[in-house]
Amino acid sequence: MGIEIERKYLIKKDKWNTSLAKDGVQYRQGYILTDPSKTIRVRLAGEQGYLTIKGLSEGASRPEFEYEIPKEDAIALLDNFCPATISKVRYKIQFDNHLWEIDEFSGDNEGLIVAEIELAREDETFTVPDWIDKEVTAESRYYNSNLTIHPYKDWK
């Protein structure tokens, strides 16, 4: 079983600039199942499709199973089985021996920019870039699955 250990942060928009990253990839993703204890996600990342099953989060960790699927299958699943989808561009930045993934959302989540870092251990130390703002790992409204249901444009 795969375990995902991920921490999530907001971006300081005055310091973030897409010139820090190269070649963002367009993502479209939706959820067949969103439940507090598990999610089933379909993702189209550029030209590649994925089916991902995630379990209940405990701290920054949760079980994760991800499988590549054909692009056409991902599109069919998104169009026919996901009640809502999100769109974003993902940028990848290597910083001090860690990979940061920055998601710049569009559509109903326009204006939201979130950075994630995957770790080998929950207590792993890492350097935080100056364009990172506050941590939102434990705030469920920032979960992508929740953004399909309660988009950023509706937040007060």
- Count of CB atoms situated within 10 Å of the CB of 132: 19
Closest CA to 9 of 144, 132, 124: 132
- Write down the catalytic residue from 27, 31, 91, 143: 31
First to last CA, the chain: 38
- State the CB neighbour count (10 A cutoff) for residue 75: 14
Q: Which among 150, 143, 151, 154 is positioned nearest to 39, based on CA atoms?
A: 143
Q: Which amino acid type is present at position 12?
A: K
Q: Which amino acid is at 58?
A: E
Q: Is 9 a catalytic residue?
A: no
Using CB atoms within 10 A of its CB, is residue 133 exposed (0-12), middle (13-18) or buried (19+)?
Answer: middle
Catalytic residues: 31
